[in-house]
Amino acid sequence: MRYRWRSGFTLVELLVVIAIIGILIALLLPAVQAAREAARRSQCTNNLKQLALGVHNYADANGCFPSGFISNLPPPGNTELSLWTWGALVLPYVEQKALQDALQVGKLTLAQAVATPTGLAAAQTPLATFACPSDVGPPLNDFGAKYASTSSQFSTYEKRVTSDGTNRIEIAKSNYVGVASIGDSTTPLMGDFATYGPPVGVFFWNSAISFRDITDGTSNTAMLGERCYRFKNILIGAGNVVGCSPAATNYSSRNRAILSALGIPYWGINQTVIAWEHQNRGFHSLHPGGVQFALCDGSVRFISETIDFRGNSLAVGWSSANVGCDSTFERFLSRNDGQPLGNF
């Protein structure tokens, strides 16, 4: 048999080469996507770090952490239209003094501020420090305007801000909320300390927590956590940067608008089973496998969604939510449970 040498490739050789290239690309693509997510997560870590440092600087200047939200009157029976939340108070400490001046935080109420053109423009300025790059939500929080009207469950968690009690104004979205307490109830953080005792987090109704109040130690206590706009197919609604409007004029524990600045564990990290319409109480993120938290010492940690956690319904007559503090995640969120945290 005569062997004839021809230059070039046979079809099979070509196919094999293509197959090998295909395999290499298939190996590379997920790595690229994972690297992108890792970059977004590290940007998010940086945001949380900046905010935690802002809170620390606020504490240095004022002697305590900023209040979770500021309300003139003790509940119930409040008729305040819109409330400033901790985000508005830390603005000067994250290099946004000009924004705070435009909003006239402290001179005007939020309702009065968004009624002025400069105040409205300031409240609608998206701030990169308050936005997680992995989040898919819009820069202005449209949760209230888009979804609250579709369900009474959503409407109690309105993220809109109002200037006259009826209009809905979308303001800049925040993916970071202050840790308010543990358990499933919003009642303690609304200022009702009689029913289930006072909150055990660091941000709540007119709170003024200073470092000495964090008796578990600042490196064992969470300060800020993440909340995304949409988790899988569940609308969470993220939060707002500078404030919120109570959904009803009747300011009671039913009024959950304040959850646009505060968070509680509810039934667990990235939880999707129980009461989907209430998930915007808790902590969710699109980073695979967990949520990032800034701690009271200023560090940032990624908390796995598989962390030891047992949800609790608060019971009437408890001295505080710490009565139900029986898992690692709850000990991490509580500032004064008095139990060793351990490794997690």
Choice from 158, 216, 305, 330 touching another protein (CB under 8 A): 305
| SS3 assignment, position 2 | coil
Which residues within the stretch 205-244 sit at the binding site for another protein (CB under 8 A)? 231-232
Is 72 or 306 the residue whose CB approaches another protein more closely? 306
Write b or e for each residue in 180-205: b if 16 or more Cβ atoms lie within 10 A of its Cβ, otherwise e: bbbbbbbbbbbbbbeebbbbbbbbbb
Site string for another protein, 11-40 (x = CB under 8 A): -xx-xx--xx--x--xx--x----------
What does the alpha-carbon distance between residue 52 and residue 300 come to, in Å, rounded to a whole number?
9
Is 1 or 12 the residue whose CB approaches another protein more closely? 12
CB 37 within 8 A of CB 51: no
What does the alpha-carbon distance between residue 90 and residue 55 come to, in Å, rounded to a whole number?
6
CB atoms within 10 A of CB 233: 7
What does the alpha-carbon distance between residue 250 and residue 80 come to, in Å, rounded to a whole number?
9
Q: How far is the CB of 153 from another protein (least distance, A)?
A: 6
Choice from 143, 157, 196, 267 touching another protein (CB under 8 A): 267
Q: How far is the CB of 27 from another protein (least distance, A)?
A: 7
Is 97 or 344 the residue whose CB approaches another protein more closely? 344
- Give the count of residues interacting with another protein (CB under 8 A): 37
Q: How far is the CB of 342 from another protein (least distance, A)?
A: 9
CB 140 within 8 A of CB 170: yes
Q: How far is the CB of 289 from another protein (least distance, A)?
A: 6
Q: Does 61 sit near another protein (CB under 8 A)?
A: no
Is residue 223 within a helix (H) or strand (E), and if so which, with residue range? Answer: strand 222-226
Q: Does 149 sit near another protein (CB under 8 A)?
A: no
Is 13 or 60 the residue whose CB approaches another protein more closely? 13
Q: How far is the CB of 305 from another protein (least distance, A)?
A: 5
Is 82 or 312 the residue whose CB approaches another protein more closely? 312
Residues ≥6 apart with Cβ < 8 Å to 292? 41, 44, 45, 48, 225, 226, 285, 300, 301, 302, 303
Residue 181 amino acid letter: S
> What residue ranges bind another protein (CB under 8 A)?
12-13, 15-16, 19-20, 23, 26-27, 30, 153, 184, 231-232, 267-268, 270-275, 277-278, 289, 304-311, 313, 315, 327-328
